[in-house]
Amino acid sequence: MRFTYLFVMLIIFVILQISLRAIGINFPLLPLLIFYAAYTYGPWFGFGLVLPAAFLLDFNGGWTHPWSIFGFIAVACFAIFWLHRIESDSLLLLAIPGFTLPVLGDFPQNLLAGGFTVSNILNSGADALANGVLGAILFPFWIIILDFFGKKLGLCTYSEAKERVKKENL
């Protein structure tokens, strides 16, 4: 069921991100999904999403190479770090991954695809910063939405992930 849920969410997020990009709004949604999958369902699901997400997003955006792989791997690694190293999960603290994910998941591939020129670094940097701020605000809402549907399907939620890890470690 987790696989099906993530697959459906992947398609929805890819459509959303590509459609938003086509009208000029560049907000990286897929890093949020990869983070959620790696954090809530475990590293296999997070890393398993990296390849299909990068392929679907990059090739449908017109890129020749799936550059997003590098950023998405970094996001999955960050999720595991966040799950195992950070103790508190207050709403305010969620702003940190909310800010980090769009930067990690979008900035490197924009540099790789667009080239290491001053204008591209400035443009991508400004984009990443704006997306980071927006991500910090929106991240808790995304978690609530993903948890809502996950719960309806009887899947474990974001808030339960830490408890699960603690139990496993005991």
| Closer to another protein by Cβ: residue 50 or 161 | 50
Residue with tokens 């997070």: 46
Stretch that binds another protein, among 14-22, 29-37, 143-151, 155-163 (CB under 8 A): 14-22
Does residue number 116 form part of the binding site for another protein (CB under 8 A)? no
Site for another protein in 122-151 (CB under 8 A): 123-124, 127
CA atoms within 13 A on the CB side of 168: 9
Q: Does 154 help bind another protein (rule: CB under 8 A)?
A: no
The rounded distance, in Å, linking the Cα atoms of 59 and 103 is: 21
Q: By CB under 8 A, which span of 73-81, 93-101, 112-120, 159-167 interacts with another protein?
A: 112-120
Q: Which two tokens stand for residue 94?
A: 């969620």
Q: Does 55 help bind another protein (rule: CB under 8 A)?
A: yes
**Is 22 an interacting residue with respect to another protein (CB under 8 A)?**
yes
Element counts in the chain: helices (H) and strands (E): 7, 0
Burial, 46: exposed, middle or buried (Cβ in 10 Å; 0-12, 13-18, 19+)?
buried
Helices (H), 62-117: 68-85, 95-114
114 binds another protein (CB under 8 A): yes
For helices 68-85 and 158-169, the axis angle rounded to 10 degrees is 60
Under the binding rule (CB under 8 A), the answer on residue 14 touching another protein is yes
> Which pair of tokens denotes residue 19?
């459609």
CB nearer another protein, residue 117 or residue 159: 117
Which residues here bind another protein, judged by CB under 8 A? 11, 14-15, 18-19, 21-22, 26, 55-56, 59-66, 109-111, 113-115, 117, 119-120, 123-124, 127
